[in-house]
Structure 1
Amino acid sequence: MANELNGKRVAILAADGVERVELEQPRQALDRAGAVTELLSLHDGQIQARNNDLDASGTFDVDALVSSADVEDYDALLLPGGTVNPDKLRVDRTAVAFVRDFVASGKPVASICHGPWTLLEAGVVAGRTLTSFPSIRTDLRNAGATVIDEEVVIDGNLITSRSPADLPAFCKAIVKAFARDVGDAGGAR
């Protein structure tokens, strides 16, 4: 099934402090399935990756700035975690607006670990069911989300996962969800 995402363009929104495996492994799964992935960030050049939030873990080349990105140019969005990465994204108005508009478009949006912090800041979690890293679950509940403790949770066009330990299930779920037509991300958990 190496071609199920042929012709699909996937935006990956990340900033300095992104958890390396949470960007790298999903991106590899999407690329293997035939997607064209593009790393959007707050600044051009490279972003610094981390391992377990503490250790420097190389860099990723930025393909485009989120400030010049258009939701219409992409079929899906991936929000990796790490604690620093979403904390930087959620204080950037253009990043938050991009995420808000992406969710509103009905196109699939996948987020893992601390990544849902950006969804929270975009005001799109109220009334939704999702999962995340345990330390941000109270924040999500306070914003009106129902949070459950499962490897992967799919609620409409939102696909969320808890941590790097869930990457195999998350990667499989996002390839399947991103392969569906726009607005048909399913509702099953």
Structure 2
Amino acid sequence: MSQLAGKNILILATNGFEQSELEVPQAKLKEAGATVHVASPESGEIKGWDNKDWGCAVKVDKALDAVDAASYDAIVLPGGQMNPDTLRGNDAALALIKAFFDQGKVVAAVCHAPWLLIDTGIAKGRKLTSYKTIKQDLINAGANWQDAEVISDKGVVTSRKPDDLPAFVAKIIEEILEGRHEREAA
């Protein structure tokens, strides 16, 4: 299947990402024909978290400071607790996510990754979902939180947990195929 042929997708992560929340979108988006790169503040490899222990390493394709949102059609933000919590303290990571949003590109966050939508100002006024433990954080940031396997609000795609990954990836593909999303600035 090559419905995403010619499309470039960036996955932004660091150590402690939820293993399946990086690897499933990476594999499925590649299967759909997209070129998928993993970017990180770290170089070489980053290590995932799988259930109750460290998981497998994933190769980093691009240094965070070498990435330009203009070169990509979407950004995918895997969850896990450590990964988004670390990235939300990184100004370059937040600026990159905001650049994707400001350019009308797909911004997709799963599990705890919607924390990054709070810190970029994207969450406010938007319909979102997330892992249940950060529901109140999103509500406090002005989001309209809903309990659903996937929600899309003008190209901002969110899901709750690994069980939602099939719906999450399907919605990312759908939103990329729709093209640029017009939305109010965060």
Q: Which runs of 5+ in 1 are unaligned?
A: none
Distance in 2 (CA, whole Å) between partners of 1:121 and 1:46 is 25
Identify the match of residue 179 of structure 1 among 177, 180, 183: 177
The two structures, once aligned, show a CA RMSD in angstroms of 1.2
Q: 2:99 aligns with which of 93, 98, 101?
A: 101
| Structure 2 residue aligned with 1:86 | 84
The within-5 A match list for 1:69-148 is: 69-148=67-146
1:11–1:77 Cα contact (<8 Å) kept: yes
Q: Secondary structure at the match of 1:34?
A: coil
TM-score normalised by L of structure 2: 0.95
Residue identity in the other structure for 1:133:
Y
Query: Which residue of structure 1 aligns with residue 12 of structure 2?
Result: 13
Equivalent of residue 66 in structure 1, options 64, 67, 75: 64
Query: Could you tell me whether the CA contact under 8 Å between 1:29 and 1:175 is conserved in 2?
Result: no
* Deviation >3 Å, runs of 4+: none
Q: Match for 1:162: what amino acid?
A: R
Taking only the aligned residue pairs, the percentage that are identical comes to: 41
Where 2:115 maps in the other structure, the secondary structure is: helix
Unaligned runs of 5+ in 2: none
SS in 2 for 1:38: strand
* 1:65-85 deviations in Å (ceiling 9; x for gaps): 112211101011100100000
User: Once the 2 structures are TM-superposed, how far is the Cα of residue 184 of structure 1 from its aligned partner?
Assistant: 6.7
- Please name the residue that 1:35 is paired with: 34
- Aligned residue pairs, count: 183
Q: CA deviation at 1:180?
A: 2.2
